[in-house]
Amino acid sequence: MTDIPSAPATGAAWDARSKGALSSMPAPSGAGRTATPRRGPADPVKALMHRHRELCERAVDPLEIAAGLEAHGVTDRTAARFRHRDVFSLAEELYARVPRDTETLSATRELTPQPAGWALWALLPGVVCVLAVEGVRLTPGGIRLAAGVVGAVAFAVALTLSLRRGPLRADHRTRPAARLCAAWLMAYAIGGDGLLADAVRGGPDGGWPLDPAAATGLAFAVAPAMWCAHLFSAGARRKLASSRGLAEFAGRSRPLLLATVALFLGCLAACLTVAQLAYGTDVFAASAALGALLWLARLLAAHGFAGAATKMLAAAAGAELLALASVFAGRLPGCAALGRPVEAAVQTWGAGALPAAVCAAAALALLARAAAVLARASAHCDQ
């Protein structure tokens, strides 16, 4: 047997003969055997960096990378597999490791045109609407219809110009169906209640009354709608910058959303109250519900969630159209039962109860959707 020297008592290094004796010994078996090292990537972030290289190269800060990773399904639990405590920490490493032309990025950011004066443009729909309403009221009967058509077109143009600026711009995210449904809801707010009430009484025999208070109140509410949307977007970006995880950001952004919704509802109520005092009609409940629905739908579309907005707008418009159609269908022989539910509701609660209930239900559904999706970091990556 080979003599194995023992370690010197002085703790000094062994000589060459001692090392040679140890190296000639057979490897121990069982628990003492050295485990074969597992094969795996020494740098787990490298594969992720190559997979999202384009995102990392065009990002101007780590927040954009974090939002993009979340949009691709990367969560804090996923980040732990890359040896990071959360997505934000992982995004910071990706931002630091991916090379980019910082001068070009800075120049691009500086040269990007920023919306100027959108806060003043937000007042344009209200001003145009008042001029259109007064034009219809002051013109004689022969040209009143033409004045109304011109006023409606001018209001549509003013609203489009305003929404293309500022925080509610959707940049081709809105769908034609959503625009059509929103136009129907606005038209119903102006003349739908009068038509429904006349239809329940057996008419209309001619023209039916229109409601200028709903039109002007909602038109002037465009300004606080854009201002509140700006407050929410700016606040969400600040919370995104100071949060250290997706769960933390979600917990901080939802109260901000609810506070912004409450602020907008207060401003909307003020606009509708002034309009009621000016024109002497009571449209508060239905108009308030419609204003909340339209604002939430546009807010979701502006943040990239136009699908839910379109569905709720279509559901509300379809319900109003179905209610009107059922009353007229009830006049057909043998179909009287079709119009009885709507007729009973109108006789009990008034014609404004139907759009108020329909729009309020749709607005609550959109609020629940907004609380879920606008709490994601990816919803604010391009705001």
Could you tell me if residue 28 is inside a domain? no
Q: Identify the domain boundary among 87, 103, 119.
A: 103
Could you tell me if residue 118 is inside a domain? no
Same domain for 358 and 243: yes
Same domain for 255 and 353: yes
Same domain for 324 and 245: yes
Tell whether the model's pLDDT for residue 61 goes beyond 80: no
Angle at 216 between CA 213 and CA 222, to 5 degrees: 135
Please give the Cα distance from 200 to 204 (Å, whole number).
9
Please check whether residue 78 is in contact with residue 51, taking contact to mean a CB–CB distance below 8 angstroms. Answer: no
Same domain for 178 and 95: no
Same domain for 215 and 88: no
Tell whether the model's pLDDT for residue 218 goes beyond 90: yes
Could you tell me if residue 152 is inside a domain? no
Same domain for 180 and 99: no
Tell whether the model's pLDDT for residue 79 goes beyond 90: no
Same domain for 179 and 96: no
Q: Identify the domain boundary among 62, 79, 103.
A: 103
Same domain for 303 and 192: yes
pLDDT above 90 covers a percentage of the chain that reads 33
Which pTM value belongs to this model?
Answer: 0.75
287 CB contacts (<8 Å, ≥6 apart)?
189, 213, 214, 217, 218, 272
pLDDT of residue 101: 52
Of 177 and 281, more confident: 177
DSSP string, 215-254: HHHHHHTHHHHHHHHHHHHHHHHHHHHH-SSHHHHHHHHH
Q: Domain of 48?
A: 44-103
Rounded mean pLDDT of 101-118?
A: 46
Please give the Cα distance from 115 to 167 (Å, whole number).
9
Same domain for 223 and 81: no
pLDDT tier for residue 339 given thresholds of 50, 70 and 90: confident
Of 375 and 109, more confident: 375
CB atoms within 10 A of CB 62: 20
Same domain for 182 and 95: no
- Total domain count, the chain: 2
Same domain for 352 and 226: yes
pLDDT of residue 194: 87
pLDDT of residue 126: 92
Could you tell me if residue 342 is inside a domain? yes
Tell whether the model's pLDDT for residue 255 goes beyond 60: yes
Could you tell me if residue 6 is inside a domain? no
Could you tell me if residue 143 is inside a domain? no
Rounded mean pLDDT of 192-206?
A: 85
pLDDT above 70 covers a percentage of the chain that reads 78
pLDDT tier for residue 383 given thresholds of 50, 70 and 90: low
pLDDT of residue 13: 38
- CA distances to 39, 50, 82, 86, 327 from 43, in Å: 12, 12, 9, 17, 69
Could you tell me if residue 30 is inside a domain? no
The average confidence (pLDDT) of the chain is 79
Rounded mean pLDDT of 374-381?
A: 78
Could you tell me if residue 221 is inside a domain? yes
Please give the Cα distance from 299 to 168 (Å, whole number).
6
Same domain for 92 and 194: no
